[in-house]
Amino acid sequence: MHLQSVLFVNNQNTVVRDVTSVNPKFFHIALLSVKNIRMSGLKISAPSNSPNTDGIHIERSSGIQIMDTHISTGDDCISIGQGNDNVDIARVQCGPGHGMSVGSLGRYAGEGDVTRVHVRDMTFTGTMNGVRIKTWENSPSKSHAAHMVFENMVMKDVQNPIIIDQKYCPYYNCEHKVSTASWRNMSCLIITFLVVAAALCQIV
């Protein structure tokens, strides 16, 4: 059984400020079916070789704000799962870790769409990935990852700055599509841009 250090379930109109989380056994913080939460000033840390220690995981939630936070961990700094809408992330320092991910999406039937994700002024240092969007190709039902904007992203010593993967399980016809995602003012020391069957994405 996996236990999050802090789990928010069905909360509304919540403020989380100036919290420190160190060396959890699983995710540091998980948001499940949360509406309107503002998180700022968080300090999250775990060893770079610690598995499944996501900094903040979000699922089936809306009205999420994460600001002015430092995350260094052994997995994703921030992971956005299925069924999320209106997620605003700004001025987050990520690294080490696996970067930030949207997904994986589409593994199970009935998953919700991921829409209106806005990430800005985020810095990745020494991470495996920067921003990663991944969907399962053999999804049992349709859903979308749409209307996502990533801007003013700075990446230093990042192995894979941008990954958009719509063939996460490349054996069946893919029912998922990434659409209307845009990237503005990307700054990378060395960039490897890997796109697998992406649709309607633009670098600005």
Q: What is the CA radius of gyration of the chain?
A: 16
98 is catalytic: yes
Q: C-alpha 133: how far from its chain's center?
A: 8
State the burial class of residue 38 (Cβ atoms within 10 Å of its Cβ: 0-12, 13-18, 19+). Answer: middle
CB neighbours of residue 189 within 10 Å: 10
176 is catalytic: no
Q: How far apart are CA 19 and CA 108, in angstroms?
A: 33
Of 28, 54, 57, 75, which is the active-site residue?
75
The SS3 of residue 117 is strand
Tokens of 68: 């002015």
Of 28, 57, 70, 98, which is the active-site residue?
98
Type and span of the H or E element at 49: none
Q: How far apart are CA 71 and CA 60, in angstroms?
A: 22
State the burial class of residue 13 (Cβ atoms within 10 Å of its Cβ: 0-12, 13-18, 19+). Answer: exposed
Closest CA to 125 of 146, 95, 170: 95
**Which are the catalytic amino acids?**
75, 98
